[in-house]
């Protein structure tokens, strides 16, 4: 066995065990020059620009664009290039910010649309450019690209290039979009910068502190530019504000919250969140994700213990824990940090994973220094530019990966298999011990298969034996992957290689106990996917 095969063996065993620990030294490169993207040279006052799309309901898509002059808010669309069988009309609006007056902002909702389908669209057939987008799938698998604190720099450009190559279905952007900071023409520049991606896949966005844009004595209405330019489907989710909303896609329910408006128990946002969580049927929608801007957990000195983080967590954390939220994405701190499942500052099995992605490419400095010694709740941290990818493969499991911008190359430096809490019998009081065995069997086996199938090998055969054994007092999972036989075709030599990749025997012990309506478990040797 050569070194490459041996490395794959070690990596595979570690990932399947769920105990990957990455130890490396990485110094984030310095900030790069800011970008200002001007209109195309051949653009005229009626040319559509800053085109972006977002989901609306189960089968709708909002198309947004800006022109300098009044033009009809009409979108022509169809499933064949140049053949637009359908059309829809919408609204035109504008806003003022001190001495700045925006262009004409067009919003049109089209649909109903088919899932996993490419649509072509334009705004005036024959005289405007044709755009296209692909709708997300109806069911698993689905891939999310995740970014935050994007800004407009050469690093932003690098991040966008890497995202465009990831074959993602939908992007989640958790605030600090343009870094205009009240310089309104920079919002126009940002719209032009992201148009090549945002016009082809839905971008679902939230707000950060750089999107507030209050100027004392001059402009005191927060989020004016954001609300005018980036309208999200808040009404469809029963929200009264564009600043917080939810949506469902491919059996994943995603909640976008605002860290910079009221969030205490008596607030409108909290009451809406409470109502929205109650509506989620986890048997039909097994994945539940929450997006905020200010992270609730942070092991860096920058933005540590800020009120928006501390008090929002104290207000809402119990609610998220009770409803078994799977993941909480955040930004704000200009780093990447992944936490273990954590609740009330302690590692807790059935709590959400907290992941901070605050470095899409902004112009600001580092996220500060590590707080040492590191807390046990922090599993991985790295001060780098980049983006994340969440590949939800089924109702039971997903794969998370972090891709840093390493000298303009996208390098995966962190990854993790994640089990949905809705399908984890130890976190779901409605599961019986009998069904627990079946679910654990299926989840673990699917995870093994998913990992191996995602590799580049030609043929794969798996023979799992002796998967489970039940004792009288404790649910013990004795899993033995007896043999994995792989046949890989080497194109250079034209030979078939049969590699005995690995033999893994993982012994697990889990306790099913109910004490004060909480789950607890004991572990032996190794963990399952989190």
Residue with tokens 């922090």: 378
Catalytic residue among 162, 303, 354, 387: 303
Which of helix, strand or coil describes residue 14? helix
Residue 262 burial by Cβ neighbours in a 10 Å radius (0-12, 13-18, 19+):
exposed
DSSP 8-state class, residue 207: -
332 φψ region: left (φ > 0), alpha (ψ -120 to 50), beta (else): left
Rounded Cα distance between 82 and 192, Å, is 24
CA distance 60 to 39: 29
| Pairing between β-strand 327-330 and β-strand 336-343 as defined by DSSP bridges | unpaired
Which of 22-29's residues contact partners 24+ apart within 8 Å by CB, and which partners? 22/380, 22/413, 22/414, 24/413, 26/382, 26/383, 26/384, 26/404, 26/413, 27/383, 28/359, 28/366, 28/383, 28/384, 28/385, 29/155, 29/385, 29/407
Q: Which residues contact 301 (CB under 8 A, 6 or more apart)?
A: 368, 369, 370, 371
Question: Is residue 303 flagged as an active site residue?
Answer: yes
| Residue 39 DSSP symbol | P
Contact 91, 100 (CB under 8 A): no
Contacts from 302-308 at CB under 8 Å and sequence distance 24+?
302/333, 302/334, 302/335, 302/366, 302/367, 302/368, 303/332, 303/333, 303/367, 303/368, 304/368, 304/371, 308/209, 308/259, 308/260
Residue with tokens 């469902």: 248
Distance CA 65, CA 54 (A): 12
**Token duo for residue 110:** 């089209």
**Across-strand partners of 255?**
246, 290
Max alpha carbon distance in the chain (Å)?
A: 77
- What residues act catalytically? 303
């Amino acid at each position: 066995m050569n070194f490459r095969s041996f490395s794959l063996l070690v990596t595979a065993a570690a990932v399947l065990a769920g105990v990957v620990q990455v130890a490396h030294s990485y110094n984030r490169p310095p900030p790069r020059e800011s970008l200002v993207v001007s209109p195309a040279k051949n653009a005229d006052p009626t040319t559509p620009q800053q085109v972006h799309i977002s989901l609306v309901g189960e089968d709708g898509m909002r198309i947004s664009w800006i022109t300098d002059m009044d033009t009809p808010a009409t979108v022509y669309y169809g499933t064949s290039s140049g053949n637009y069988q359908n059309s829809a009309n919408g609204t035109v609006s504008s806003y003022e910010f001190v001495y700045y007056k925006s262009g004409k902002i067009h919003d049109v909702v089209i649909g109903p649309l088919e899932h996993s389908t490419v649509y072509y669209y334009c705004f005036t057939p024959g005289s405007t450019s044709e755009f296209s987008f692909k709708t997300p799938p109806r069911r698993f698998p689905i891939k999310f690209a995740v970014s935050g604190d994007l800004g407009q720099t050469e690093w932003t450009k690098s991040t966008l290039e890497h995202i465009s190559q990831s074959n993602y279905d939908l992007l989640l952007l958790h605030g600090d979009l343009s870094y205009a900071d009240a310089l309104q023409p920079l919002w126009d520049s940002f719209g032009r910068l992201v148009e090549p991606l945002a016009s082809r896949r839905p971008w679902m966005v939230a707000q950060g502190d750089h999107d507030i844009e209050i100027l004392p004595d001059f402009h005191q209405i927060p989020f004016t530019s954001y609300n005018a330019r980036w309208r999200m489907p808040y009404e469809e989710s029963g929200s009264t504000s564009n600043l917080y909303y939810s949506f469902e896609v491919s059996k994943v329910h995603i909640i976008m919250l605002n860290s910079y408006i009221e969030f205490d128990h008596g607030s409108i946002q909290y009451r809406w969140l409470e109502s929205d969580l109650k509506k989620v049927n986890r048997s039909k929608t097994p994945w539940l994700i929450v997006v905020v801007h200010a992270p609730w957990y942070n092991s860096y000195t920058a933005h540590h213990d800020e009120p928006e983080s501390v008090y929002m967590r104290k207000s809402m954390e119990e609610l998220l824990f009770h409803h078994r939220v799977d993941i909480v994405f955040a930004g704000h701190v200009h780093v990447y940090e992944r936490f273990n499942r954590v609740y009330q500052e302690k590692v807790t099995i059935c709590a959400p994973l907290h992941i901070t992605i605050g470095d899409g490419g902004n112009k600001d400095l580092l996220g500060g220094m590590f707080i040492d010694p590191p807390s046990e709740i922090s599993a991985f941290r790295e001060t780098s530019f980049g983006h994340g990818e969440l590949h939800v493969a089924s109702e039971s499991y997903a794969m998370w990966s972090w891709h840093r911008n390493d000298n303009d190359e996208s390098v995966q430096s962190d990854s993790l298999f994640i089990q949905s809490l809705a399908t984890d019998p130890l976190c779901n009081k409605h599961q019986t011990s009998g069904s627990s065995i079946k679910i654990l069997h299926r989840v673990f086996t699917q995870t093994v298969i998913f990992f191996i199938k995602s590799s580049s090998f030609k043929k794969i055969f798996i023979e799992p034996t002796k998967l489970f054994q039940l004792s009288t007092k404790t649910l013990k999972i004795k899993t033995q992957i007896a043999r994995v036989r792989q046949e890989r075709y080497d194109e250079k030599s034209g030979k078939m290689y049969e590699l005995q990749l690995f033999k893994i025997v993982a012994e697990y012990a889990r306790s099913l106990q109910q004490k004060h309506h909480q789950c607890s478990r004991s572990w032996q040797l190794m963990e399952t996917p989190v």
